Every structure is written in C-alpha cells, then in structure tokens.
Amino acid sequence: MKHLPTLKRPARTATVALASAAATAALTLPGLALAHGGHHDGGAVPPPPTSPTSDSQIQNIDQVKTAIKGYYGDTTTSTPDPVSGTTTLHQFSPTGAYAQQTEGIAAKAEDYLARKAHHHSERGHDHGPSGTPAIVFDIDDTTLNTYSYEIYSSFVYNPTTNAAFVNAGSKSVFPAVPGMTDLEAQAVADGYTVFFLTGRPASQLTGSEANLTDAGYTFDPANIYLKDQTKPWLSTCAPTCTTTQYKSLTRKYIESQGYDIVANFGDQFSDLNGGYADKTFKMPNPMYYLP
C-alpha cells in the first residue's frame, strides 16, 4: 500500500500510494478492471508520472480520501478498534458503489466457473482439462475487506496495528468482500478445490483462519498459503521475492500438485501477474498499491 514514498509495508510487501494510482482509481469507479488479460469495464485510468513537473499532475490527497470514502459508502459502526478499544470502526456500506461492483464481479465469475465446471464434467476426467479444477483467492481486499483499518490508520500502514486487526480474526473488523462468500460456496458445490494465497506473514495464520471462518468461508487449512520464503518452491527468489514472484511461483507449485487453476482472484495486478491460471479476476481496491 502506498501512502508516503518512503514507507514500506513489510507484512504485505507493500508501498504506500500517495496521490497516484490510488487517486486515479478512486475517482474513476466504473473504470476499474473486472478481469486481467482482456476483460475490463471501461479501462483503468493511468497513474500520474513518477516524477511530476507540476502539482497539477497529481490529485490532491484530501480529495482522494474523500472520494474513497464516498465510493465505499463510509459507515460508522459500534465495533471498537482491536488495538486500544477506544476508537469506533468504520465500514463500507452494503448498498454502496463498492459493494455493487464487487457483487457484479462475483456474479460474472460464478457464471464463468459454472460453465467451466459443466464443460469439464461433459468431457470427463480422462479427457478434460489437465488436473483437478481449482481456484485461488487472495485474502486482503479480495475475500476480506480491510476498509476499517485504512480509515483507522488514515491510510498509513503500521505493521503492529495492522497485525492487531488481522489477529482479531473477526468479520466485525474485516468482513467478507460482498459477493465472494457466495462465489466460493458455489465453486465448492461445482467441484472446485479452493486455495487462499496471501502476502500476510506466516505468523498471522491463526488470525487469518479465524477471520475467514467468521466471515463465512469454508476451506481446508492445508490450502491456505501465507508468505513464508523458506518454502522450497521460492528458492529462486528468496529471501527477497516480489509479490509477483511469490504468488506466481506458489501457483506453479499448486499446479504441480495436480491442480488446474481455472481462476485466480486478486485486488492487485501483482496478485495476478506471472501466469499459472486460466483466467484472472481483478477486484477493485483504490486504497493502496502493491507492486
């Protein structure tokens, strides 16, 4: 997540977005990509130059924050923050633009997965696609929404406070992204094996499992991959794997275990780049950017 050029987000290997890609994405809500690799709703707006020559090339950061809150439908809740318990958390509106957009993406993905499952069934396992059909989900802002933390932190990442939110393991803190629990449930019913692949550190496994369960997802604990660069399939890039390297090499490993990743879901293009998926679906996230 990029908020200030010099800050880094080690827990998710993120950088902070000041008024660049997050700004333009936040102000062009219908234009966010639905799927990577040729499927878009209007096309993403290009970010400003990395070395601007005028302030007019950069969206004002306060205006960006206001746009983001409007897009999510900022709503005050009665849930206390998991750090001090003194701040009331904010959440997105279930009827806002963000929820409508994610539900639309989930519906399109559900149709696609159903067609692929039917095709696989008709052709039979001996002549169908290679491997057991599977789908891969990122966690933060793909299956679990982190808007509450972004507002709590004023869009400035801190590994200690972020870990407290993750380890709370509650849908009151990180609720499901609208449409995604239904999508996962239907995919399981259609015969897909579900994997979760996140940049969260391995130390957050317990909190992540609790959060996914509380939010309504069902999964095999063996199919959750957190970022552990000691894994043998990451040896070519460890200990400095980029997000794209970590995720694509892990997908490659999953496919080597006999699976065909029919669809890969992520809120960052670094979640989706690098191959090892038949189709990718880009979830909207104007709050931060992970290269």
17-71 pLDDT per residue, tens: 333 333 333 333 333 333 333 343 445 777 889 999 999 999 999 999 999 999 9
Number of H helices, E strands in the chain: 9, 9
Q: How confident is the model over 209-263, as pLDDT tens digits?
A: 999 999 999 999 999 999 999 999 999 999 999 999 999 999 999 999 999 999 9
pLDDT score, position 30: 32
The C-alpha atoms of residue 139 and residue 21 are separated, in whole angstroms, by 21
What is the C-alpha separation between 278 and 114, in angstroms, rounded? Answer: 14
Q: What would be the CATH architecture of the domain defined by 8-282?
A: 3-Layer(aba) Sandwich (3.40)
Domain boundaries, the chain: 8-282
* Joined tokens for residue 73: 């439908």
Largest CA distance in the chain: 61
- 267 vs 31, 54, 141, 143, 291, CA distance in Å? 14, 30, 6, 9, 12
Give the count of alpha carbons within 13 A of 108, CB side only.
17
